[in-house]
Amino acid sequence: MKISVVICTKNEERNIERCLKAAGPVADEIIIMDSFSTDQTESNCKKFEKVVFHQTQWMGFSNTKNKANELAKSEYILSLDADEVLSDEIQQEILELKSQLSGYYQINRKTNYCGKWIHHSGWFPDRHVRLFPQNGSTWSEDLVHEKLIFDQNQKVTDLKGLVYHYSVTDLSDHLGKIARYSELAAKKLAGRNRISLLFSMLLNPIFRFFRHYVLKLGFLDGVVGLQISILSAYSVFLKYKKAILP
């Protein structure tokens, strides 16, 4: 079977070549859906012969991904983010499965945070369905943390190899992502009872910190585990604050 790798981009010159080099061996085509990048993303993508480059206005994560998936010519789609890189192990695993793909496949991500690999903190393991049939699969319309919708009676297989996720380069980068994602998350809370939101703003960050740092063993990741847990709690606080005071 053939595989279309699908990647959505916006100003990803820092990441995209690394992503494409690793995706190339398993891809029959690589669909790039770019939201009018103003850096070197387009020229970097066009260095790779399997790339089919498209542009569209940003329509949100789900709608942009769905539009890109519709352009794929292969039976299967491998959905990647521009800051993700297939490990050698998962490349080989996919190549061995390629002739007999069936059902859906979950991929486990390992995140690089400020130059360090995270082994706990609620960030690992981090499994998501990313290799799936084009027909019968669509991304949910959630504003943030979109999920793949498919027939739950279908077989889901866990792949053994990892995808390396170069998520956060420094503290400023992390705070910027928190600001953007909390804005989207707050919109999902619009219209909820303000008293309920207030209690959630005060209590949920505490639970989030405890979950990531204690239950998810964030303390084993050292200083960065503490930083991740604190900022995760802060992101929850900010989400509810923006919902109360938009």
In tens, the pLDDT along 144-173 reads 889 999 998 899 999 999 999 999 999 999
Q: What is the pTM of this model?
A: 0.93
Q: How much is the average pLDDT of 14-28?
A: 98
Residue 227 pLDDT more than 80?
yes
191, with CB counted inside 10 A (0-12, 13-18, 19+), is: exposed
Q: What does the DSSP assignment read for 121-175?
A: TTTSS-EEEEEEESTT-EE---SSS--EE--TTS-EEEEEEEEEEEEESSHHHHH
pLDDT number for residue 17: 98
pLDDT number for residue 89: 98
Q: How much is the average pLDDT of 77-97?
A: 98
Nearest-angstrom CA–CA distance, 193 and 72: 43
Nearest-angstrom CA–CA distance, 232 and 63: 26
pLDDT band at 58 (very low <50, low <70, confident <90, very high): very high
Where do the domains of the chain lie, and which CATH numbers do they carry?
A: 3-168 (3.90.550.10), 171-244 (no CATH)
Residue 74 pLDDT more than 90?
yes
Please write the tens of the pLDDT for every residue from 171-193. 999 999 999 999 999 999 988 99
pLDDT number for residue 114: 96
One-letter amino acid at 244 equals: I
Closest CA to 212 of 197, 200, 227: 227
Share of the chain above pLDDT 90, in %: 94
Residue 245, Ramachandran bin (φ over 0: left; ψ between -120 and 50: alpha; else beta):
beta
pLDDT band at 128 (very low <50, low <70, confident <90, very high): very high
Nearest-angstrom CA–CA distance, 166 and 201: 29
pLDDT number for residue 97: 96
Share of the chain above pLDDT 70, in %: 100
Q: Which residues contact 177 (CB under 8 A, 6 or more apart)?
A: 168
Six token digits for residue 158 = 């866990």
Residue 141 pLDDT more than 90?
no
